[in-house]
Structure 1
Amino acid sequence: MNGKTQANRLAQLMQKKGFLPSYILALPLMEIRSSSLKKLESGDILLLGLNSLTCLLMDSHKICANVVLVKQNDRYGMQIIKLVNKPIESTNSKKYEKLEFIFGNVQCRTLSVGHIIDIAHINLDKVTLVSQEKTIAAASLVNVEGKIAVKIEKVEK
């Protein structure tokens, strides 16, 4: 192999393998009736009942930590408030499905209580709704009578 080919191959390998562990930043999981999920339309609002932006850090099949939005030095971040090592359980009911509200991926060197994760690259206004590892809809966060809610922007068919 010549030097240029080796350099390209090394660059590809480094891009595939990140330096820091990556986690999914999401709102708390919610169960919703399957029939309601099928009727979901653009403009619908899902009330979450949250007073503050409390989120989860998840990897593919487990919840790793609870985090909360904090402001530090004119920047926002997510502070880990509780470590959790809980598998994401699927519903055993045919009537209900688990719904994930995903903001995106964040990288974090250590998971420890009090650690603040940089979220400058995350748009906290935009949320992706995922059920059974399939994207259901694109949405945005809205405020409804002082509570956090999700407004459906576009439904994926």
Structure 2
Amino acid sequence: MKSEPAVYSIADLECDRQTIWDGVRNYQARNFLRQMNPGDLAFFYHSNANPPGIVGLMHVIKNNIVDPTQFDSKSKYYDPKSTPESPRWQTVIVEFKQIFPEIITLEKLKQEFRGDELLVVKQGNRLSVMPVSETVAKSILKLSI
């Protein structure tokens, strides 16, 4: 799961302990959020950073949450086509787990994985939420030590 550190960082999550992962406005990313379940682990990826990469770990504590920003006309994530009776955007609540001792940079991820193994390294992929297979996740966790 990606976030720009200037918008919301792993340090923010550590301080808050948990947060709603709001503002996702891509249908494919939303569909990936819909597949998440309580207890699932998620990598926290700092995008638009120097360098970009995986900075820590969080876990899902609640799923299928209606994203409240879709109804807020003052929010940049407002969706006038969405209604409380028929919301278009669902998300999850995540809880802080850990900050990695060192960032696992995008460059390092590209050295270790192909685009068909890890979508974040695939050319042109800009999704903010992407699935990671258990095998790849275990390999990433080994890189974090």
The structure having more radius of gyration, on CA atoms, is: 1
User: Is the TM value for this pair above 0.5?
Assistant: no
TM-score (norm 2): 0.31
- Would you tell me which structure has more strand in proportion to its own residues? 1
TM-score (norm 1): 0.29
- Would you tell me which structure has more helix in proportion to its own residues? 2
